Structure 1
Amino acid sequence: MGHAEDEDDPRLAAEGEVAVARLAIDSGDLTHAADHLADAIVADPQLPELHEALAELCAAAGGPAAARELFPLEGQVYLGTVVCRAHVEAAAGDWDSAIGLLASAIQYEPAQPWAHTAWLAREDLPSLVDPDAVAQAVARAAGPLPDPLPGELADTVRPFHAFVQAVVERHGDHPLLLAMASGLTRRLGATTRAVELAERAHRLAPGYLPSVMLGNALRADGRPEQALAVWEAELGRTPPEEDDSSGYLAVDVAELYGALGRPAEGLPWLDRVLAAEPGHPKAGPARHALRHAVDGDPAHLLALADHHRAHPEHEYAHELLERLSRRETWLGMVAGATEATVNLMRQVLAEESTTRETALDCSASALEPPSTVLALHLALPRSTVSYEAVGEPDPRVPLAPGTSLWTWDGTDPRPAVAPPSADAAELVRATAEIVWPTVPAAYDHAVRLAGLPVEDLLGVLVHPPLPREDELGRALLSHQPELWVRAVQTFACLGLAHHRTDQPWAESDRRRLLSDLLLGPEDWVVEAAGFALLAIGWTHPDTRPDVAGLLGRRLRHLATARLTRTVTIQRSFAALTLAAPWLPPTDRALAHTLLRPAPAAPSPAAPAQPRPGFLRRLFRRR
């Protein structure tokens, strides 16, 4: 038990390693002692006993210079070995090596307080180091750091920054040091100082690196137009067609135009880069992103996904796709619900007096998707819903015969399939999400459901489990249970998308099942199945023509139905189909039409758009 506690407490773990190291020193096994000290310094870099033991090890080895060989740097080197070697080099007076190794530790694990060490704060240290070595160390440490640094990381890096500033004060005419120091200073939020350092570097040695750093500092300081001027002047001296490194600067220029709301002005820069280097790892993805900024067409996001699938080493394409998909309906999150039952449920849930024992007797003028009842019962299980009329075409009737999830007693929907097994329900519960990074990421995330029986995946569509017992799950249950129902249905259908992937698509069970659900009764499940088909199209381009035909058929039916009755899923389904840019132009134009509010077309049974207050008066609480 004590050993487990040590692993949970870094300081206890470090103290244990130091104790073993001291025993090894006493026995003369210095290599063994060095290994334990390397483990200790990773656990707690500031433990006083650790540094005392490191000094004892150096003494036992015959001095710091001799102790170097106990912390070798050949091949793949353990982080603790690097940090211990840095302290040994400092003890030996080889300050340039010590600074470089400390910078390497910051580079690989910036959250640890490596720089909180007494020797780095020595007042005479800036006079003892080579500014070239310090500039290289700063480049190594700062390169991978976030910009700007979050508070905790800023605290761990600040002593290193203070040392660098002291060296700058002593070597203020060193262009490389000034440029590198500007980058570190910018990350710590001192943007005015970063501009000052970069301007000095640029005056001393106009060129590519000082220009890049000055532009970055100006942009961070809220002066993007000045940054553009600096960068474009540099590209005038070293065009991307003549210098490979200038290609990355041209990408920065293009993206800065995008950030300024002028993406079209950035596109020519990317065209120049791609003309010189068609396989540039950032220019192609950046061009797709800027074209999306120009016209908002999801086709450019699909192009990013296709680019990353063809070039998995181009992580920038994936990064941009995540950024542009975030919080976009279906591209990065489940669609909301607009049904009257859902709207009233939200109002009731917002009241302080509401509990899970609250019961509603709800009566609506026209039939709604049956999954609305699932959402209501999830939050308020004692409630009932009744419907006064069914519009035409009858939303209960599937577009084609196939897998059936619902049966009706008049207008009362009941699940037509058995509940899933407890294990299957729990796996779906653990997998379902209301947001996802990208469409391909959602598809990949659902692969864990591939082994579930079809019966379980169908069952969970109409017998959704309660949300997870975490902060988000409790919030969904208390305020928007419909989002959780939609998330469960979405990921259950994605699970079906992974069913028997060994079968050729055209004759596969997964195609048949998803097609049945897409063309089934009008319900949220239609959209869940549509999203699963969409995800298959995004990740398997050869399926796109078939997916287009399926989605288009449902879209056209909704367009027809909305002429004679309310179609509550028309806008969210239209948004889904627009996320499939390979659909024919006529279907895409129709989807854009459906995104607009439906025309007021009366149903023979009931008003499609009830007058204000109509639904509210029909709903009763008991």
Structure 2
Amino acid sequence: MEHTGDGDERLAAEGEVAVARLAIDSGDLPHAADHLADAVLSDPQLPELHEALAELCAAAGGPAAARELFPLEGQVYLGTVVCRAHVEAAAGDWDTAIGLLASAIQYEPGRPWAHTAWLAREDLPGLVDPDAVAQAVARAAGTLPDPLPAELTPAVQPFEDFVQAVVARHPDHALLLAMASGLTRRLGSTARAVELAEHAHRLAPGHMPSVMLGNALRAHGRPERALAVWEAELGRAEPVLDDSSSYLAVDVAELYGALGRPADGLPWLDRVLAAEPDHPKAAPARHGLRHAADGSTAHLLALADHHRAHPDHDYAQDLLERLSHREPWLGMVPGATEATVNVLHQVLADPDTTRDNEIDCSVSALEPPSSLLAVQLALPRVTVSYQAVLEPDPRCPLREPATRVWMWDGTDPRPAVAPPAPESAELVRATAEIVWPTVPAAYDHAVRLAGVPLDDLVGVLAHPPAPREDDLGRALLAHQPELWVRAVQTFACLGIAHHRTDQPWPDSDRRRVLLDLLLGPEDWVVEAAGFALVAIGWTHPETRADIAAQLQLRLQYCDEARRTRLVTMLRSVGALMLAAPWLPPADLDLARQLVQADKADKAGKADRAGNAEEASAESAPAPAPEPQTEARPGGFFRRLLGRG
């Protein structure tokens, strides 16, 4: 038996085995069994462990008598299950041993439970009941990821090899073939999975073989054929869908969605819901298909509302996470588009750039002051000057605030708040993330900031801590420091959303401060505060009407301002509004128009740049010289940042 435990695991297992042997010598067999159960979790393949198990069985009067040392009643320890499997194998009860090994794979598939000598016995496939093996395969494979990640495959492969050997001994056992198809499919052998499932379906064209055949066909790239198999099986279940066929109907509906035909899937879900209004998957799946049909975040909000009303319906949460993944504001902080940030990226991409470089930037028009935080985070010796302030003046708040983050000396911004206390800054630093599973998850994650003083949460908006000293933090600092600044501001505002939640929302400090920030000067803080308000609306439906009215003010301002000057956060604000689908339809339409207009504007600029380059190449005798960037120790970069 190959031994693969690492040093720490091996030492831990060896220590447990040593104590177990002392207990065996003293006659305290239950104590010894407990230590061997601990040892098998540390290093399942340790040879001394299996030797000690044999010694324990001998001391107990044989493997059959040793069973009671590893009881399976009530809450059972995983190490106890694995040791009991080995004891059952030693006693010759192969069916029970296989079932227990499958349970261990089910609960922790990455451990080498199946790397055991008795499972590899050449005669074992002829000693087991195929019904018992089919049940064991269903238990082991039912919770495995589909497909199985490559890092888990080595641990599960010996079990798969054993199952295939049993299939070879029982080639016409329909249930075994169907279950084996599911395991084989997860390990990536989709053609073999189809072969097994098709044979099972020919032998017994019932519900389970149909389900497994459809799954195999779908994994093998034949979804239309899978639909035909599943719909034929559901046709046999007419006119009433039972529990098992209702889940198959959900699979049919979602496969239509995956094929880009969500409208064809919705009637199946309507049938399920008509028979079972509280079906745990049908209503969430319906929201998912409707989102696939029109892209509205209203259906994602409906998923969140559904999960809040039915916390046991985990599928709603799973689906919401999947559909929110990497979507601006729904699952991540959007990037920044300021000219300052664009040039920052260029400078950071230069291999000669260091934090000691002096950088002098001249920008044609005023930009959000938080963009300077990002630049100075990575390059603290930067100097940025702004040539003009375009109208409407982005320094002016939409209303007179009690909470101010920024002040200006002419065009030079400076913080209007004191830095946070070190312990508050560190807690925000530990909490901030650039991605999150869902909007409610981001809101819940920030609850750890509920006890941070309000002044400190506001202070961190203008005085962000450095990124965490991990791989992601170092990558952000080196390449995209603006994402870290935006993450800090986002979670600081989410922390404000948790401040004094005992105060009724209409007159609360958290509402007052977040509205001051939302309606304050044009800055990334506006977006962060807006997201905090959106998150409150997602999690507290009674606040939605009030929050919609406040978001409208910022949306209308952005629409008016973009007519006379560039609004760098236009697309992000549009995405933020779309993440609040309870806004009036006219406002949501405007938000979509702003997002599309910003995309079209940037695409047009890219096309014009490409056309200009092509025309130059065709008509000019030589390309015009590029603006030069000077870089020398003790010197500076000079860049003129255009707007337009």
Cα deviation for residue 242 of structure 1 reads 3.1
**Unaligned residue ranges in structure 1 (runs of 5+):** 1-5, 602-609
State the match for 1:256 in structure 2: 255
| Structure 1 residue 597 displacement after superposition | 3.3
Partner of 2:498: 498
C-alpha distance 618-513 of structure 1, shift in aligned 2 (>3 A): farther
2:529 counterpart residue number: 529
Q: Distance in 2 between matches of 1:600 and 1:119?
A: 65
Measure the CA separation in 2 of the matches of 1:617 and 1:389.
24
For 1:64, the equivalent position in structure 2 comes to 63
The residue aligned with 1:596 is: 596
**Contact 1:135-1:180 at 8 Å conserved across structures:** yes
Runs (5+) with no aligned partner, structure 2: 602-607, 613-623, 631-635, 639-644
Q: Match of 2:615?
A: none
Give the match for residue 389 of structure 2. 390
Which residue of structure 2 aligns with residue 436 of structure 1?
436
Q: In structure 2, how many angstroms separate the alpha carbons of the residues matched to 1:57 and 1:599? A: 71
Task: Summarize the Cα distance change of 1:127–1:534 in structure 2 as closer, same or farther, 3 Å threshold.
Answer: same
* Deviation of the 1:400 alpha carbon: 0.9
What is the distance in 2 between the residues matched to 1:598 and 1:231? 44
- 1:498–1:616 CA distance, 2 compared to 1 (3 A): farther
Q: Cα deviations across residues 14-72 of structure 1 (Å, max 9, x unaligned)? A: 11111111111111111111111111111111111111111111111111111111111
Aligned-CA RMSD value:
2.1
Q: Which amino acid aligns with 1:194?
A: A
Deviation sequence 1:292-328 (CA, Å, 0-9, x none): 1111011011111111111111111111111111111
Contact 1:257 1:265 in 2 (8 A): yes
Q: Which moved more, 1:284-293 or 1:475-484?
A: 475-484
Deviations 1:551-588 (A, max 9, x none): 00111111111122221112210110011000011211
Question: What is the CA–CA distance in structure 2 between the aligned matches of 1:174 and 1:272, rounded to whole Å?
Answer: 34
Match of 1:446 in 2: 446
Matches within 5 A, 1:39-50: 39-50=38-49
Q: Secondary structure at the match of 1:414?
A: strand
Cα pair 1:364 1:618 within 8 Å, conserved: no
Partner of 2:266: 267
User: Which residue of 1 is the match for residue 540 of structure 2?
Assistant: 540
In 1, the alpha carbon distance for the partners of 2:336 and 2:628 equals 21
2:173 matched to 1:157? no
Partner of 1:289: 288
Aligned to 1:175: 174
Question: How far apart, CA to CA, are the structure 2 residues paired with 1:98 and 1:337?
Answer: 58
Q: Give the TM-score normalised by the residue count of structure 2.
A: 0.92
**1:564-616 deviation per Cα after TM superposition (whole angstroms, max 9, x unaligned):** 22211122101100110000112112212211336999xxxxxxxx9999x98
Distance 1:241 1:415 in 2: 67
C-alpha displacement of 1:7:
11
Find the counterpart in structure 2 of residue 562 from structure 1: 562
Task: Name the SS of the counterpart of 1:597 in structure 2.
Answer: helix
Task: Quote the Cα distance in structure 2 between the aligned partners of 1:175 and 1:546.
Answer: 60
Which string of whole-angstrom CA distances, capped at 9 and with x for unpartnered residues, describes residues 431-470 of structure 1? 1111111111111111111111111111110111111111
Aligned residues: 608
| 1: CA distance, partners of 2:347 / 2:335 | 18
* TM-superposition CA deviations, 1:393-431 (whole Å, max 9, x none): 211111111111111111111101111111111111111
1:96-131 Cα offsets, whole Å, 9 max, x none, are 111111111111111111111111111111111111
| Structure 1 segment 167-316 matched on structure 2, within 5 A | 167-239=166-238, 241-316=240-315
Q: Which moved more, 1:308-317 or 1:25-34?
A: 25-34
CA distance in 2, matches of 1:599, 1:560: 18
| Distance in 2 (alpha carbons) for counterparts of 1:600 and 1:582 | 26
> Is the contact between residue 571 and residue 598 of structure 2 (CA under 8 Å) also seen in structure 1?
no
Does the alignment pair 1:583 with 2:596?
no
In the alignment, which residue of structure 2 is the partner of 1:551?
A: 551
CA spacing shift, 1:8–1:451, aligned 2, 3 Å: farther
CA contact (8 A) 1:102 1:114 kept: yes
Q: Give the % identical residues.
A: 78
Aligned partners of 2:55 and 2:348: how far apart in 1?
66
Q: What letter corresponds to residue 397 of structure 1 in structure 2?
A: C
Tell me: CA distance 1:110–1:349, structure 2 relative to 1, closer, same or farther (3 Å): same
Name the structure 2 match of 1:477: 477
Report the counterpart of residue 516 of structure 1 in structure 2: 516
Q: Secondary structure at the match of 2:154?
A: helix
User: For 2:311 and 2:577, how far apart are their aligned partners in 1?
Assistant: 26
Cα pair 1:239 1:246 within 8 Å, conserved: no
- Secondary structure of the 1:178 match is helix
Instruction: Write the deviation string for residues 365-398 of structure 1: whole angstroms up to 9, x where unpaired.
Output: 2111111111111111111111121112211111
Instruction: Confirm or deny: 8 A CA contact 2:284 2:316 kept in the other structure.
Output: yes
The answer to whether the 8 Å contact 1:490/1:529 transfers is yes
Provide closer, same or farther for how the CA distance between residues 469 and 600 of structure 1 changes in structure 2, counting only shifts above 3 A.
Answer: closer
Structure 2 residue matching 1:248: 3-state secondary structure: helix
Please say which of residues 169-178 and 233-242 is displaced more in the overlay. 233-242
